[in-house]
């Protein structure tokens, strides 16, 4: 039994190492200053950005408390408030344990800085609790955003609610499938959400690196006169998407995550979806190459 337990620990450490290497494609570093180097470069290029903290969930003995995560969120607000441009904070409500007091402090800090507070999406079972956080932040007077995945059955109703609340919506394909409809086509779902928001939402961000999908979404939103922008993930190719932004005369923004380098691959479900393993292998190779090529002072 001791040998088996020792073996599981070794395998677990190996998986965590692989995830960290893979995550280097997207995550510039573990510290706020690592993200701010990218933010300053984007600001100089007149590109907007959002910062999000990826807390440590891979190593139980090193997991941060919700209070520690909240402190980092307030530090992000203070840091990006000093730079020009329309930057904002993205938060993960589960990392804050949906704590109304902590989220209230963050919302007040964002409100006082004149900054949007955006709530990322997670698994479907977290959606109601995240919406409660959105309402609480609005009650504090903060400008609020919400991610709505295209692959959930409930997403059209969530889009309706976002329009009623007047919050900015970031449309994403979504990392986590709907357990009631796991095979839903993500492109079709994405466009269904966009169509539901067109002409109704205060503002819409299209978070995808799929040029065809972004073009189709922009056509619908622009035809309805809905303010919109393209939102990209740091580290992924963006030339074609920036060309679309110029073509449609819409802003482009880059999501800069920092902290523990990971992507929510849901490795526990990899046996049911071989593509997840391919993503890990692919991003691990790219992440390792980037790490070897990246010289001190370069981004």
- Three-class HEC string of the chain: CHHHHHHHHHHHHHHHHHHHHHHCCCCCCCCHHHHHHHHHHHHHCCCEEEEEEECCCCCHHHCCCHHHHHHHHHHHHHHHCCCCCCCEEEECHHHHCCCHHHHHHHHHHHHHCCCCEEECCCCHHHHHHHHHHHHHHHHCCCCEEEEEECCCCCHHHHHHHHHHHCCEEEEECCCCCECCECCCCHHHHHHHHHHHHCCCCCCEEEECCCHHHHHHHHHHHHHCCCCEEEEEECCCCCHHHHHHHHHHCCCEEEEEEEECCCCCCCHHHHHHCHHHHHHHHHHHHHHHHHHHHCCCCCC
Judge whether residue 19 has pLDDT over 60: no
pLDDT digits (tens, 9 = 90+) for 25-58: 667 888 999 999 999 999 999 899 999 998 865 5
145 close to 117: Cβ distance less than 8 angstroms: yes
**pLDDT(284) > 70:** no
Query: Is the model's pLDDT at 247 over the cut of 90?
Result: yes
- Structure confidence at residue 274 (pLDDT): 53
Question: Whose structure tokens read 């919700």?
Answer: 66
User: Is the distance from CB of 225 to CB of 253 less than 8 angstroms?
Assistant: no
Half-sphere exposure of 283 (CA within 13 A, CB side): 24
Across the chain, mean pLDDT equals 84
Average pLDDT over residues 76-84: 94
Within 10 A of 248 (CB to CB), how many other CB atoms are there?
A: 16
Measured distance CA(120)–CA(266) in Å, rounded: 17
* pTM for the structure as a whole: 0.81
- Using the predicted structure, report yes or no on whether residue 271 has a pLDDT greater than 80: no
More confident residue, 264 or 110: 110
* Cβ atoms of residues 232 and 255 within 8 Å: yes
pLDDT tens column, 155-185: 999 999 999 999 999 999 988 888 888 888 9
Distances (CA, A) of 95 to 57, 77, 106, 255: 9, 17, 13, 18
* Confidence label for 8 from pLDDT (cuts 50, 70 and 90): very low
- Rounded (10°) angle between helices 66-80 and 100-112: 0
pLDDT at site 245: 97
Q: Which two tokens stand for residue 231?
A: 């939102």
pLDDT at position 57, please? 55
| Phi, psi torsion values for 93, nearest 5 degrees | -55, -35
How much is the pLDDT for 260?
A: 78
CA 226, CA 218: separation in Å to the nearest integer?
9
Pick from 36-45, 123-132, 282-291: least confident: 282-291
Q: Tell me the C-alpha distance between 189 and 205, whole Å.
A: 15
């Amino acid at each position: 039994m001791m040998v088996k337990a020792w073996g599981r620990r070794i395998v677990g450490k190996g998986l965590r190492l692989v995830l960290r290497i893979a995550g280097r494609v997207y995550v510039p570093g573990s510290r706020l200053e690592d993200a701010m180097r990218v933010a300053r470069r984007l600001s100089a290029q007149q590109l907007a950005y959002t910062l999000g903290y990826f807390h440590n969930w891979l190593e139980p003995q090193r997991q941060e408390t919700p209070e520690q995560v909240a402190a980092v969120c307030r530090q992000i607000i203070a840091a990006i408030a000093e730079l020009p441009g329309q930057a904002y904070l993205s938060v993960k409500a589960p990392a804050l344990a949906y704590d109304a007091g902590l989220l209230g402090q963050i919302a007040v800090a964002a409100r006082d800085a004149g900054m949007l507070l955006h709530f990322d999406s997670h698994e479907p079972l977290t959606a109601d609790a995240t919406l409660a956080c959105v309402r609480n932040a609005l009650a504090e007077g903060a400008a609020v955003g919400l991610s709505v995945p295209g692959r959930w059955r409930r997403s059209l109703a969530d889009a309706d609610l976002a329009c009623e609340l007047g919050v900015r919506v970031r449309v994403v394909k979504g990392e986590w499938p709907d357990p009631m409809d796991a095979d839903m086509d993500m492109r079709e779902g994405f466009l269904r959400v966009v169509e539901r928001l067109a002409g109704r939402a205060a503002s819409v961000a299209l978070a995808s690196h799929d040029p065809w999908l972004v073009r189709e979404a922009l056509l619908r939103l622009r035809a309805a006169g809905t303010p919109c922008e393209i939102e990209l993930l740091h580290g992924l190719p963006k030339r074609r998407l920036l060309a679309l932004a110029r073509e449609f005369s819409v802003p482009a923004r880059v999501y800069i995550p920092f902290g523990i380098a990971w992507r929510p691959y849901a490795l526990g479900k990899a046996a049911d979806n071989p593509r997840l393993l391919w993503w890990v292998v692919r991003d691990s190779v790219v992440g390792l190459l980037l790490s070897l090529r990246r010289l001190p002072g370069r981004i």
